[in-house]
Structure 1
Amino acid sequence: MVRLSLLFCLPLALIATPTQAKVCTPTWVAGWASSQFLPTGDAALPPGTLADQTLRQIVRPSISGDRLRVRFSNLAGTKPLRIAGASIARARSAASAAVDPATLISLRFDGKPDVLVPAGADYLSDPVALPTQALDNIAVSIRYEGDPEQTSHPGSRATSWHLPGDHLTDDTMTGAASFDHWFNLAALEVERCAPAKLIVALGDSITDGRGSTTNGNDRWTDRLAQRLQADPKRRHIAIVNQGIGGNRLLNDGLGPNALARLDRDVLAQPGVTHLILLEGINDLGTLTRDAPVSAAAHQAHVARIIGAYRQIIARAHGRGIKVIGATVMPFIGNDYYHADARNEADRQAVNAWIRTPGHFDAVIDFDRITRDPARPDRLLPAYDGGDALHPSPEGYRAMGEAIALNLFD
């Protein structure tokens, strides 16, 4: 009794557990994403290519986390998309269909192995416990039932593999055919027990990575992701690439215009805090690609481009997002657009507006970084991918290296 009474008299602080349990507030953030749309022309697969097939696609999250969920898209579909099953695993490499079988997990949708994704909609899988490091290669496999309508990101610069039948748990997919596109795969979202920030890069083929190395992950956004992860103070910052080749601010091209896709591709991304906008070169080039236009038409076109920038800034600011403008890079010498002095004057006028303080929250001067000092209306030869418009892998690296990381603090 004496011993018990002494125990009751001890201060509570002395009998409490020596360490308090860590309180976790889970946070979802987009770790990887691709802009999905209706593929046309050569970007579309021949009918029947994916009918009753398993498609395995490799993606690379830009941030670490404890759990994952996949956002599947039927954006371009006119009827429900039947996914008969899906799985996720760590891939052996970026350029192989092989996965680590010990990490293979079957995905579920509201607890079920299959799902009907409504026409025009996205659908999130149930979360799975798959602790993931930033820049890991993650394989997502889809089992199609029937011949799906095509919703795609054609410019993946990443190889995908497909085989007839159910190969969701196949660790090698031996004999699979391949193509370099993503289908029905809009995002890989990461849950963390820590705060996170997200940068969305909205752009055209220069953001999408035309001229980068297939399976090399050497777009400018990839280099920025590597630099963020190499900095211990900034490993909580993710970046996703929402570039579309041929994209424009004002008119549809390959994929919907930037204003039309802003809500879905930027504002709806979980965790978004920053937007880097690199758009406008295709607007400038298409103005006179087929025929010259008047000086008044040039002036009006520049005004409309600037108006689109203003719209994007206002709508992003309404969500508390910091908007960083990137200057439009040189394209004199490109055979497709055959730009002349008037097109160059338009580019200079647009870039002058981008650089003017008070418009964007900050500026990344990709024009200054990539232009030839001897001929500033052209890309530096070392950074030219060969068409006087798209950078080489060296050019993309220079772009990614030049971005000040404190823009995201």
Structure 2
Amino acid sequence: MPNMLPLAALTAALALCAPLPVVAAPVIAQCPWIGVWGASQLPVIGDDRLPAAALRDVTLRQIARSSIAGSELRVRFSNAFGDTPLVIENATLARASGPAASAIDAKSLVPLRFQGRAGVTIPPGADWLSDPVSIPVAAPGDLAISLHLAALPEKQTGHPGSRATSWWVSGDRASETNLAAATGIDHWYILSGIEVRACSSGTIIALGDSITDGRGSTTNGNDRWTDVLARRLSGKRAVVNQGIGGNRVLLDGTGPNAMARLDRDVLSVPGVTHLIVLEGINDIGMLTRDAPATPDAHAALVDGVTAAYRQIVERAHAHGIKVYGGTLLPFMGMEYYHPTAASEADRQAINAWIRTPGHFDAVIDFDAAMRDPVRPDRLNPEYDGGDAIHPNPAGYEAMGEAISLQLLK
């Protein structure tokens, strides 16, 4: 009979053969990504398109202002309305020397990469995020995003109402400090968002039309009402402006209607905690711009706009987002829409719905802040940008100051 090991010795031998206990690797906590800047994308047509000389072998340098500080960023590019793939051959990011010049801080220049590569091909209809890069950014901080493109799709994607100057020049000049002989153009192209890692913060999105987009504000002045709000928040929350001039709630106008762009412009942005909705005045104006409408058509418009508001609230709530309704500003006296008493009644009916408790999480009463105390169906003359509907910089200041910061904690 073979020799047998004592039980104690056998136990010790088996222990030596047993696998070592698994020790979990330490988890390194990272702050989540949040959106800090955005531009709603739409098809770029007519005079807003890049000129023919800028469609091939071109460098675009575009300036965007981050609303909070950060040190790790990524950039979102869009070919949402392109009909062919968009090829970015080279891209860089740097701190801009200012909001109105093409020069950059050369020491801050970093290359943007896409899965480690210098370039990327973005399919038609798609957005694409760059790899994260490390670059300290203050709040507010102007960033220069430079792209070298071999060719743009025939159908261009961008944001015409930038109120900011972009620069284009022939050749690959994305890494140059100064773009000598560059041509300025007051639109954004392809650039749709900037995100940073941020702890204990979140993003406020403003969904709206030209009043949110900043028609009547100062080019390169960053004095839209959303800019005023961002400054008041002092970097505690990011503010992303998703306004489109001429936009409507129910029907396409300048760009897709608000319901059609909700997913791309709001729900897909990371870190959103609050949504401010200020849209509907173009729906009212367009109803009767070319011909009078029947009472039934006016009633249907009010029902349609308020039903869409309810849809926006429901869909945002499903993502944990609070939704605040902005009351519509007065626009009597505007020549383009030539509103009537029936148009004003529509506005009043929609504003009454917005102010009704339980419809929105809270109300921001832009109407009360901006109307003429003597003729409340018109803008306060001190805030009128000259066309009876768009505020001037003083008006945008008043709008930004009308928002209670307590609502945005």
| Matching of residues 143-162 of structure 1 within 5 Å | 143-149=148-154, 150-162=156-168
Match of 1:45 in 2: 50
Q: Kindly state the Cα deviation for residue 178 of structure 1 after the two structures are TM-superposed.
A: 1.1
Match of 1:3 in 2: none
Aligned mates of 1:379, 1:174 — CA distance in 2: 44
Aligned mates of 1:294, 1:27 — CA distance in 2: 51
TM-score scaled by structure 1? 0.92
Match of 1:290 in 2: 290
1:164 corresponds to which of 167, 170, 179: 170
Match of 1:68 in 2: 73
Match of 1:175 in 2: 181
| Matching of residues 40-119 of structure 1 within 5 Å | 40-119=45-124
Letter in 1 for 2:351: N
Match of 2:37 in 1: 32
Q: Kindly state the Cα deviation for residue 22 of structure 1 after the two structures are TM-superposed.
A: 12
Q: Kindly state the Cα deviation for residue 47 of structure 1 after the two structures are TM-superposed.
A: 3.5
Aligned mates of 2:313, 2:53 — CA distance in 1: 42
> Rg bigger for which structure?
2
Q: Kindly state the Cα deviation for residue 269 of structure 1 after the two structures are TM-superposed.
A: 0.4
Match of 2:382 in 1: 382
1:173 is paired with a residue whose SS is coil
Q: Kindly state the Cα deviation for residue 48 of structure 1 after the two structures are TM-superposed.
A: 4.2
1:202 aligns with 2:207: yes
Letter in 2 for 1:228: L
Match of 2:341 in 1: 341
Aligned mates of 2:213, 2:180 — CA distance in 1: 29
RMSD: 1.3
Aligned mates of 1:299, 1:26 — CA distance in 2: 47
Match of 1:224 in 2: 229
1:108 is paired with a residue whose SS is coil
Match of 1:328 in 2: 328
Give aligned pairs, total.
Answer: 383
1:140 aligns with 2:121: no
Q: Give the gaps of 5 or more residues in structure 2.
A: 1-25
2:141 is paired with a residue whose SS is coil
1:60 is paired with a residue whose SS is strand
Aligned mates of 2:120, 2:406 — CA distance in 1: 42
Letter in 2 for 1:338: H
Q: Kindly state the Cα deviation for residue 180 of structure 1 after the two structures are TM-superposed.
A: 0.3
1:377 is paired with a residue whose SS is coil
Q: Deviations over 1:94-115 (max 9, x none)?
A: 0000001001111110000011
More deviation, 128-137/45-54: 45-54
Letter in 2 for 1:251: L
Q: Kindly state the Cα deviation for residue 50 of structure 1 after the two structures are TM-superposed.
A: 3.0
Q: Kindly state the Cα deviation for residue 156 of structure 1 after the two structures are TM-superposed.
A: 0.1
Q: Give the gaps of 5 or more residues in structure 1.
A: 1-20, 230-234
Whether contact under 8 Å (1:250, 1:257) holds in the other structure is yes
Letter in 2 for 1:67: E
2:54 is paired with a residue whose SS is coil
Q: Kindly state the Cα deviation for residue 23 of structure 1 after the two structures are TM-superposed.
A: 6.1
Aligned mates of 1:99, 1:22 — CA distance in 2: 37
Whether contact under 8 Å (1:50, 1:162) holds in the other structure is no
